[in-house]
Amino acid sequence: MSARVLVGVKRVIDYAVKIRVKPDRTGVVTDGVKHSMNPFCEIAVEEAVKLKEKKLVKEVVAVSCGPQQVQETIRTALAMGADRGIHVEVSGKDYETLGPLQVSKILAALAKKEQADLIILGKQAIDDDCNQTGQMTAALLDWPQGTFASEVNIEADKLKVVREIDGGLETIKINLPAVVTADLRLNTPRYATLPNIMKAKKKKIANVKPADLGVDVSSRLEVLKVDEPPQRQAGVKVETVHDLVGKLKEAGRI
């Protein structure tokens, strides 16, 4: 199969960092804070590399949108086994307001330009938890989508995707080309080995601007304020079920 896979990777604040809201409440503190690849994007890269190792796809291209620093994230994808990278340069105010709609427009344009047969993304990013980019990209391209994938198989020229949904597991068969978003249990991302990290240095990362792809990255959303979640209040202990029902009624919960 001569398929080309596009994998989107996002640079986010490391999952282990304690998030702090900026004093002016316009966002969270990102300066000097450790960033790394979104964990769901790692799973997406791993799946793409696995498909390449099974010889079901020919080339894995890692894409990221953002300023200079996202090249680190693309390099991590290359160290895991992606063949080349594309860095879509977005910086400053545009980067602060970059959201799923703009990214999906960029990915759709790139998919056409690179003639990709499959796009694999993480199901959501751990900073905004939007869970929209995969779905929007599929809609813009008019491609089928297999989201929350916990298993992906290529059968003939169709994609069999097992999805994790509220009711359990759903298996669907979709035509290629398609968009898949990776869920937690799809795979366990590999460690990059030292030799692979060194080989990754030689792999190419192309630079592209959104304007070159004909995409307008201005946002239609404005963040008004960002607050910390409310402090957890102490609970109340009750003696009997009667008391419990009474208290719940008082609080207007039932």
Partner 1 sequence: MAAAMALVRGVRFGSYSIGRSRSLIFNSLQRRGIAACVDPSIGLTDEQKEFQKVAFDFAANEMAPHMAEWDQKEIFPVEAMRKAAQLGFGGIYVNPDVGGSGLSRLDTSIIFEALSTGCVSTTAYISIHNMCAWMIDTFGNNEQREKFCPDLCSMQKFASYCLTEPGSGSDAASLLTSAKLQGDHYILNGSKAFISGGGDTDVYVVMCRTGEKGPKGISCVVVEKGTAGLSFGKKEKKVGWNSQPTRAVIFEDCAVPVTNRLGAEGEGFSIAMKGLNGGRINIASCSLGAAHASVLLARDHMCVRKQFGETLSNSQFLQFKLAEMATKLVASRLLVRQAAVALQEGRPDAVSLCSMAKLFVTDECFAICNQALQIHGGYGYLKDYAVQQYVRDIRVHQILEGNDFFSSWFSSKIS
Rule CB under 8 A: which residues touch partner 1?
Answer: 14-19, 32-34, 36, 39-40, 42-43, 71-72, 75-76, 79, 126-127, 129, 184, 188-189, 191-195, 197-198, 200-201, 228-229, 232
Nearer to partner 1, 154 or 197 (CB): 197
Nearest distance from C-beta of residue 223 to partner 1, angstroms: 15
User: What values do phi and psi take at 28, rounded to 5?
Assistant: -105, 160
Nearest distance from C-beta of residue 188 to partner 1, angstroms: 7
Nearer to partner 1, 16 or 224 (CB): 16
Nearest distance from C-beta of residue 70 to partner 1, angstroms: 12
| Nearest residue to 12 via CA among 30, 39, 35 | 35
What string of DSSP letters covers the chain? ---EEEEE--EEE-TTSPP-B-TTSSSB--TT--EEE-HHHHHHHHHHHHHHHTTS-SEEEEEEEESTTHHHHHHHHHHHT-SEEEEEE--THHHHT--HHHHHHHHHHHHHHHT-SEEEEES--TTT----HHHHHHHHHT--EEEEEEEEEEETTEEEEEEEETTEEEEEEEESSEEEEE-GGG--PPPPPHHHHHHHTTS-EEEE-GGGGT-----S-------PPPPPPP----SSHHHHHHHHHHTT--
Nearest distance from C-beta of residue 239 to partner 1, angstroms: 28
Nearer to partner 1, 202 or 253 (CB): 202
Nearest distance from C-beta of residue 157 to partner 1, angstroms: 30
Nearest distance from C-beta of residue 88 to partner 1, angstroms: 19
Nearer to partner 1, 126 or 172 (CB): 126
Please give the Cα distance from 189 to 43 (Å, whole number). Answer: 5
Nearer to partner 1, 167 or 229 (CB): 229
Nearest distance from C-beta of residue 240 to partner 1, angstroms: 29
